[in-house]
A = this chain, B = another copy of it.
Amino acid sequence: MRDLKLLSVMVQAFAVSTVKVSRGLGFNLKVKKDAIVPGVKSESASAAALIGVIGEDFKGSVTLLINKKAFDYIIKAMSGGMIQSPSTDDPVSMSALGELANMICGSALQELGKSYSKHVDITPPQMFAGENLKSIPSESEDMKYYTIPLLGEAEGAKLYLVLGFR
């Protein structure tokens, strides 16, 4: 990713979109604005949803990492209370997480479209579950990473959006 200005516009678009999408779905995520940092800096998570992004000038991925408290909080909210005990092993709960990542990505690319008119394509979300789950950056010098930390309203609910592009 040579165009660092474009990357910072993307980070901004993803931060704004996450707040907007969560509000639309009936829950609140707050961006810890002063904690947005270059690189991968997240606490360990319980689940992740990754979306591949390919534009004409960049290629990479956006990963939503989420701890168990945030997972429970969000999946209960997204299912309108239908899922009372969300499990990271359950494809239904995890598909909801993927759909959240998908909506954030769609909204962010729409936002990005205001200043970047070229075509951008995305993959369907791929979900992971595990303990102590971490995104590990590549050593490759042309890969640039940004981490956007987010807080849910539930006590201890933490999420991270990790953007990695070259």
- Residues of chain A touching chain B, judged by Cβ–Cβ distance below 8 Å, are 44, 48, 50-54, 59-61, 63, 88-89, 91-92, 94-95, 98, 121-140, 143, 164, 166
B138 and A91 within 8 A (CB): yes
Residues in B whose Cβ lies below 8 Å from that of A126: 50, 60-61, 63, 135, 138, 164
Q: Report the Cα distance A125→B60, complex, angstroms.
A: 8
Q: Report the Cα distance A137→B54, complex, angstroms.
A: 22
Residue of B nearest to A62 (CB): B126
Residues in B whose Cβ lies below 8 Å from that of A44: 130
Task: Pick the residue among B98, B125, B128, B166 that contacts A133 (CB under 8 A).
Answer: B128
B140 and A130 within 8 A (CB): no
Shortest C-beta distance, A73 to chain B (Å), equals: 19
Residues in B whose Cβ lies below 8 Å from that of A92: 139
A123 and B59 within 8 A (CB): yes
Q: Report the Cα distance A136→B122, complex, angstroms.
A: 19
Task: Pick the residue among B50, B91, B124, B128 that contacts A166 (CB under 8 A).
Answer: B124
Extra contacts besides A54-B123, A128-B133, A131-B131 (15): CB < 8 Å:
A50-B50, A50-B61, A53-B123, A59-B121, A60-B124, A88-B136, A91-B138, A123-B123, A124-B140, A126-B138, A127-B135, A129-B133, A130-B131, A131-B132, A133-B133
